[in-house]
Amino acid sequence: MKKPNIIIVLIDAARPDHFSCYGHERITTPNIDRIANEGIVFENAISTAGWTLPSHTSLFTGTYVSKHGVHNENQVFKGSLPTMPAALKSAGYKTAGFCRNDWISDATGLTNGFSEFYDIHYTGLQRKIRRFINNMRLNGRDSWTFEINRAVCKWIRRNASGDPFFMFVHYSQLHLPYSIPAPFNTMFLPDDVSYEEASRVNQNPKAFYAGEVEMGPKEFEMSKALYDCSLAYMDHRIKDLYDELKTSGILDDTLFIITSDHGESLGDHGHFDHYYVLYDSLIRVPLIIRYPDRIDPGIRDDSIVQTLDIFPTVGKMLELPDESLKESQGLPLPPFGNETKHRTFSISERYQDLIGLKNSYPDRDLGHLQKFERDRKIAIRTKKHKLILSQNYESELFDLEKDPGENHNIIERNAKIAEDLESKISEWRASFTAAEIDGSEANFDEAVRKRLEALGYLG
């Protein structure tokens, strides 16, 4: 029996409460909704981190941030842990990655295990030509989503009838700044607001945090509308990929996974983009899996799961050697795992500094952000409660059943609950050896550094 193909579709900065299949009031994801109805939707999927580099490392290694040690203060994965792409390659899979996010690159060590890795970037004249062609073809620009799909579908057509494959596809369509072609760019804007007017709303999170630009309720509502427009376009491109799998005759032979590395702050708690915090707006992510051989259609599961559980799920399904999974801290997801063994809590971590912001705005007074300087956070989340411990300022406890928006810190009158959760964190920390922090920096070339600066990561 042929092993299934495995495709992970990762939509950067996707928050599930803006997907219509997760209950959003706008019909933003009709095509993803169909995929969800054909498989399983995880209601409480939690990322291990609030931004790209550490969360991807967790996805590929099945380990938490403290264990793999890749974050702001250590930017390079040195291959000290088994990875999902490498394990699948050893199991006879073709392994291919498609991405245009520089944090997933040779420079950070995260291409380890991929036989083929396509960095969808263009420079110089080639970039201008592709932009011109896409402007004409798409009726406006996108965030290179069409180009990624073009490469992915071409690869599928070339490899559909051969050995089983593992494909990782990373889309940046929901990442600031937004590039949305018509007609999607006005789909959820107020009738009297043009895309040109909406796109003038600030899309630079560093300018917002530095106090260069003020954003109030009106601006954040416009940001939410643009986010939903971009998500609707992303959904349209997911349909293209789905249809290609169907046309190639391999859809039902493919474990098809849709998820994200983190969410996005859209004014929640006064935050923007994916900086500084560990609220659910940043760590709760979509997780949808379609595989008719093992998953009945129309399942919704409210178990607490984490994105690092994907590797051990794949490992159990394929019966990968124990050596591949010996370091994993994940658990196989419910359709594939032991029904008596499941998570009672999730863990998410954040290592943060203000270096990039200071470099970009050396003359600005950033005293209002001092609590985030060299801050380390950890969040433990059960179905009912969530505790966020911060190195630099007050801890926060939320009753998620009564206060899903995490607006009311109840720690002062619920000290016992906080103590119990903190003891669980201590037990969790004692269960493994944390990676050392060596200050390694990714060796990006100048072009990459400029791209990351434009996205707000580097100063």
Higher-pLDDT residue of 20 and 366 is 20
pLDDT for the residue numbered 449: 60
What is the residue-averaged pLDDT of the chain?
92
Q: Is residue 328 within 8 Å of 60, Cβ to Cβ?
A: no
pLDDT for the residue numbered 448: 59
Instruction: Provide the CB-side half-sphere exposure for 253 (13 A, CA).
Output: 18
pLDDT higher than 60, residue 241: yes
pLDDT for the residue numbered 459: 46
pLDDT higher than 90, residue 66: yes
Q: What percent of the chain has pLDDT over 90?
A: 77
Higher-pLDDT residue of 4 and 341 is 4
Cis peptide before 183 (omega within 30 of 0): yes
What number is the average pLDDT over the span 306-326? 96
Across 192-206, 347-361, 399-413, least confident range: 347-361
- Judging by DSSP bridges, how do beta strands 375-381 and 385-390 pair with one another? antiparallel
The burial class, CB within 10 Å (0-12 / 13-18 / 19+), for 411 is: middle
pLDDT for the residue numbered 340: 57
How far apart are alpha carbons 235 and 240 in whole angstroms? 9
Where do the DSSP E strands lie in 194-274?
A: 254-259, 265-266, 272-273
How many other CB atoms are there within 10 angstroms of residue 303's CB atom? Answer: 17
How far apart are alpha carbons 209 and 221 in whole angstroms? 18
pLDDT class for 339, splitting at 50, 70, 90?
A: low
pLDDT higher than 80, residue 399: yes
Cis peptide before 177 (omega within 30 of 0): yes
pLDDT higher than 80, residue 217: yes
Across 52-66, 81-95, 341-355, least confident range: 341-355
Question: Given the structure tokens 């427009």, which residue do they identify?
Answer: 229
Task: Measure CA 94 to chain center.
Answer: 23
The end-to-end CA distance of the chain, in Å, is 52
Higher-pLDDT residue of 359 and 314 is 314
How far apart are alpha carbons 343 and 306 in whole angstroms? 9
Structure tokens at 221: 């509502």
How many other CB atoms are there within 10 angstroms of residue 420's CB atom? Answer: 14
Whole-model pTM?
A: 0.94
